[in-house]
Amino acid sequence: MKRLPKDIFVTGIDTNVGKTIISAILVQALQADYWKPIQSGIIGSADVDIVKMLVSNPKSKVHPEAYNLKSPTVPIHSAKLEGIEIDHSNIKLPATSNRLIVEGAGGLMVHLRRDFMIIDLIKHLNIPVVLVSKNYLGSINHTLLSIEALHSRGIEVLGIIYNGERSAHMRDLIHETTGIHEIGSVKTAPHLNREFIDTQSLELYYSIKKHYTIV
């Protein structure tokens, strides 16, 4: 059985599929650190603050963003409004001996510059991906396209985490088409709080252990 990598990038098949909630659950399950390199468009609480609020273990540390953009729009435009250009050479994995969960911004093809997207950032950081999927009309297509894009750039996909309800048909079809397995699923939160995160993190931990050795 393969060992679960130290650093993991959490990306999604679309915007608002639950990357932050899944990231918080993974952080809690693995007692990992958390880092969101680019925050763009804070409406309500920033993702960093949400993770801080939901994670209860004393080991995890939240690292500051490389870019914290204020405008609620795509990072390339938000950066332009602030008179800056995102330079990926400034985006480096934080120094930590702990496991690290890295959360992306939006989907894979979100532009950071005209010639550089989130998928390019993943390749730049050179870490494998956990893909967050969700059951909605068109989500199988979005999941397959995301996996194909990642594979085309030589990025390793550790597995899929389904957020909310997902059908066995959806899971089986994606697995049969891509060979990528489900490493866990997370229920829709009736109340998003630490109790929910604790319960889901325990279930996800044992689900991941079926596929990877966690050291």
Return the closest-CA partner of residue 153 out of 179, 178, 126: 126
pLDDT of residue 42: 65
Decide if 198 is inside a domain.
yes
pLDDT of residue 47: 87
**CATH number of the domain to which 73 belongs:** 3.40.50.300
- CA 57, 63, 65 angle in degrees (round to 5)? 140
User: Does residue 2 fall inside a structural domain?
Assistant: no
Question: So which residues are the catalytic ones?
Answer: 36
* Domain count along the chain: 1
CB contact at 8 A, 108 and 79: no
- Whether 215 is in a domain gets the answer no
For residue 45, what pLDDT is reported? 58
Residue 72: inside a domain, yes or no? yes
Residue 131: C-alpha distances to residues 8, 95, 142, 193, 198 (Å): 10, 24, 11, 23, 21
**Residue 160, both tokens:** 């899929």
* Helix or strand (DSSP H, E) at 159: strand 157-163
Do 45 and 17 form a contact (C-beta atoms < 8 A)?
no
Beta carbons within 10 angstroms of residue 201's beta carbon? 23
12 vs 172: CA distance, rounded Å: 19
| C-alpha span between 198 and 54 (Å, rounded) | 9
Look up the domain containing 110 and give its range. Answer: 7-208
Q: Please report, rounded to a whole number, the percentage of residues in the chain having pLDDT higher than 70.
A: 98
Which segments of the chain have a pLDDT < 70?
42-45
pTM of the full predicted structure?
A: 0.95
Residue whose tokens read 């494998």: 128
Span between the terminal Cα atoms of the chain, in Å: 12
3-state SS, residue 37: coil
What per-residue confidence (pLDDT) applies to 165?
81
Give a yes or no: residue 144 inside a domain: yes
> Residue 168: is it exposed, middle or buried by C-beta count within 10 angstroms (0-12/13-18/19+)?
exposed
